[in-house]
A and B are shown apart, each in its own frame.
Chain A
Amino acid sequence: MRNVLNRMTVLLSGLTLAGTVQSADLTVYTYDSFISEWGPGPQLEKAFEQHCQCDIEFIGVEDGVSILNRLRIEGERTKADVILGIDDALMEETRATGLITEHQQDLSPLKAELNWQDPQFVPVDYGYFAFIYDSRKISQPVTSLKALVESDARVLYQDPRTSTPGQGLMMWMKAVYGEQSSQGWQQLAGHTVTVTKGWWEAYSMFLKGSADYVLSYTTSPAYHQLNEQTSHYKAAPFSEGHIAQVELAAVTRTSQNPVLARRFVSFLTSDEAQRIIPVTNWMLPVRDNVELPPAFDQLMQPTRIGFSASEMADQRKGWLREWRNAAAL
Chain B
Amino acid sequence: MILSRLKHHSDTVAGLTSLAAMVLISVAAFYGLIGFSGQGADWQLLSDNYYQSILLFSIKQAALSMLLALLLAWPVARALYYGRLPFQHSFLSLCILCFVMPTLVLITGLVALLGRDGLLTPLLGESWNLYGLNGILIAHIYLNLPFAVRVLLQALHNIPDLSWKLAVQLKFSPWQRLRLIELPALRGAFLQLSGFIFVLCFNSFAVVLALGGGPRATTLEVAIYQALKYDFNIPEALTLAWSQLLIAGALFLLIARAGRSNWLAVDTLSHQFTPQPGLFSQWGHRAVYLLSWLGMLLPMLALIPGLYQSDLSRFSLSALVQPTLTSLVLALVSASTAITLAWLMLIPIRQARLQQHNRRAMVLEWLSTHSLVAPAMVISVGLYILLLPHFDLDHHGIWLVLLLNCALVVPYAVQQLRPRLLQYDAQYQHLSQNLKLSRRQRWWVEWPFIKPTFISTFALILLLALGDVAIISIFGSDDWTTLPLLIYSYAGSYRIAEASLASLLLLLICALIVWAFERARHHA
Task: Tell me if B384 and A200 are in contact (CB < 8 A).
Answer: no
A209 within 8 A of B: yes
B385 within 8 A of A: yes
Contact A325 B395, CB 8 Å, known A73-B385, A200-B493, A209-B116: no
Task: Tell me if B232 and A72 are in contact (CB < 8 A).
Answer: yes
Q: Which residues of A contact B385 (CB under 8 A)?
A: 73
Q: Which residues of B contact A5 (CB under 8 A)?
A: 336
Report A177-218 residues with CB < 8 Å from chain B CB: 189, 192-198, 200-201, 204-205, 207-210
Stretch at the interface among B147-155, B214-222, B366-374, B421-429: B214-222
Stretch at the interface among A133-141, A158-166, A258-266, A280-288: A158-166
B396 within 8 A of A: yes
Report A284-329 residues with CB < 8 Å from chain B CB: 316-317, 320-321, 323-325, 327-329
Contact A65 B230, CB 8 Å, known A16-B395, A19-B479, A325-B50: yes
Contact A161 B226, CB 8 Å, known A8-B329, A8-B333: yes
B419 within 8 A of A: no
Report B155-170 residues with CB < 8 Å from chain A CB: none
Distance to closest chain B CB from A193 (angstroms) = 8
Distance to closest chain A CB from B335 (angstroms) = 11
Q: Which residues of B contact A192 (CB under 8 A)?
A: 214
Task: Tell me if A328 and B50 are in contact (CB < 8 A).
Answer: yes
Distance to closest chain A CB from B276 (angstroms) = 47
Task: Tell me if B230 and A162 are in contact (CB < 8 A).
Answer: yes
Task: Tell me if A70 and B388 are in contact (CB < 8 A).
Answer: yes
B494 is contacted by which of A74, A193, A200, A324 (Cβ under 8 Å)? A200
Report A13-32 residues with CB < 8 Å from chain B CB: 15-16, 18-21
Specify which of B216, B330, B396, B399 lies most central, judged by the most chain A CB atoms within 10 Å of its CB: B216
A205 is contacted by which of B116, B329, B477 (Cβ under 8 Å)? B116
Roughly how many angstroms separate A209 CA and B48 CA in the complex, as a whole number? 36
Task: Tell me if B329 and A12 are in contact (CB < 8 A).
Answer: yes
Roughly how many angstroms separate A12 CA and B336 CA in the complex, as a whole number? 14
Task: Tell me if B36 and A65 are in contact (CB < 8 A).
Answer: no
A60 within 8 A of B: yes
A167 within 8 A of B: yes
Q: Which residues of B contact A159 (CB under 8 A)?
A: 214-215, 226
Roughly how many angstroms separate A208 CA and B480 CA in the complex, as a whole number? 32
Roughly how many angstroms separate A90 CA and B492 CA in the complex, as a whole number? 24
Contact A77 B477, CB 8 Å, known A160-B230, A201-B492, A328-B53: no
Q: Which residues of A contact B477 (CB under 8 A)?
A: 19
B255 within 8 A of A: no
Distance to closest chain B CB from A55 (angstroms) = 15
Where the two chains meet, the residues of A that have a C-beta atom closer than 8 Å to any C-beta of B are 5, 8-9, 11-12, 15-16, 18-21, 59-60, 65-66, 68-70, 72-75, 77, 79, 159-162, 167, 189, 192-198, 200-201, 204-205, 207-210, 316-317, 320-321, 323-325, 327-329
Q: Which residues of A contact B492 (CB under 8 A)?
A: 198, 200-201
Distance to closest chain B CB from A71 (angstroms) = 11
Task: Give the top 3 A-B pairs by smallest Cβ distance, nearest first.
Answer: A19-B479, A195-B214, A194-B213
Number of A-B contacts (CB under 8 A): 119
Roughly how many angstroms separate A323 CA and B214 CA in the complex, as a whole number? 11
Q: Which residues of A contact B332 (CB under 8 A)?
A: 8
Q: Which residues of B contact A194 (CB under 8 A)?
A: 129, 131-132, 213-214
Contact A325 B389, CB 8 Å, known A204-B494, A317-B231: no
Where the two chains meet, the residues of B that have a C-beta atom closer than 8 Å to any C-beta of A are 36, 48-50, 53-54, 116-117, 129, 131-132, 209, 213-216, 218, 226-233, 325-326, 329-330, 332-333, 336, 384-385, 388-389, 394-396, 398-399, 477-480, 492-494
Task: Tell me if A321 and B395 are in contact (CB < 8 A).
Answer: no
Distance to closest chain B CB from A62 (angstroms) = 8
Roughly how many angstroms separate A162 CA and B399 CA in the complex, as a whole number? 27
Q: Which residues of A contact B336 (CB under 8 A)?
A: 5
B116 is contacted by which of A9, A69, A72, A210 (Cβ under 8 Å)? A210
Roughly how many angstroms separate A215 CA and B330 CA in the complex, as a whole number? 39
Roughly how many angstroms separate A11 CA and B17 CA in the complex, as a whole number? 28
Task: Tell me if B116 and A329 are in contact (CB < 8 A).
Answer: no
Roughly how many angstroms separate A321 CA and B223 CA in the complex, as a whole number? 13
Q: Which residues of A contact B53 (CB under 8 A)?
A: 328-329
Roughly how many angstroms separate A167 CA and B336 CA in the complex, as a whole number? 44
Distance to closest chain B CB from A176 (angstroms) = 20
Task: Tell me if B49 and A329 are in contact (CB < 8 A).
Answer: yes
Task: Tell me if B230 and A15 are in contact (CB < 8 A).
Answer: no
20 pairs, CB–CB < 8 Å, chain A vs chain B: A11-B325, A16-B399, A18-B479, A73-B36, A73-B384, A73-B388, A75-B389, A79-B394, A161-B226, A161-B230, A193-B129, A193-B131, A195-B213, A201-B492, A204-B493, A204-B494, A327-B214, A328-B215, A329-B49, A329-B53
Task: Tell me if A327 and B215 are in contact (CB < 8 A).
Answer: yes
A205-B116, A325-B49 given; name 4 further pairs at CB < 8 Å.
A15-B326, A159-B214, A159-B226, A195-B213
Distance to closest chain B CB from A120 (angstroms) = 20
Task: Tell me if A161 and B480 are in contact (CB < 8 A).
Answer: no
Task: Tell me if A12 and B333 are in contact (CB < 8 A).
Answer: yes
A161 is contacted by which of B116, B216, B229 (Cβ under 8 Å)? B229
Roughly how many angstroms separate A77 CA and B50 CA in the complex, as a whole number? 37
Q: Which residues of B contact A208 (CB under 8 A)?
A: 116-117
Specify which of A68, A79, A198, A325 lies most central, judged by the most chain B CB atoms within 10 Å of its CB: A325
Roughly how many angstroms separate A318 CA and B388 CA in the complex, as a whole number? 30
Roughly how many angstroms separate A93 CA and B230 CA in the complex, as a whole number? 11
Q: Which residues of B contact A328 (CB under 8 A)?
A: 50, 53-54, 215-216, 218
Considering the complex, give the chain A residue whose CB is closest to the CB of B32.
A73
Roughly how many angstroms separate A320 CA and B226 CA in the complex, as a whole number? 11
Considering the complex, give the chain B residue whose CB is closest to the CB of A317.
B231
Roughly how many angstroms separate A288 CA and B21 CA in the complex, as a whole number? 60
Roughly how many angstroms separate A114 CA and B119 CA in the complex, as a whole number? 48
Considering the complex, give the chain B residue whose CB is closest to the CB of A12.
B329
Q: Which residues of B contact A189 (CB under 8 A)?
A: 216
Roughly how many angstroms separate A72 CA and B477 CA in the complex, as a whole number? 20
A21 is contacted by which of B116, B333, B395, B494 (Cβ under 8 Å)? B395
Q: Which residues of A contact B330 (CB under 8 A)?
A: 12
Task: Tell me if B326 and A73 are in contact (CB < 8 A).
Answer: no
Roughly how many angstroms separate A79 CA and B395 CA in the complex, as a whole number? 13
Roughly how many angstroms separate A19 CA and B479 CA in the complex, as a whole number? 5
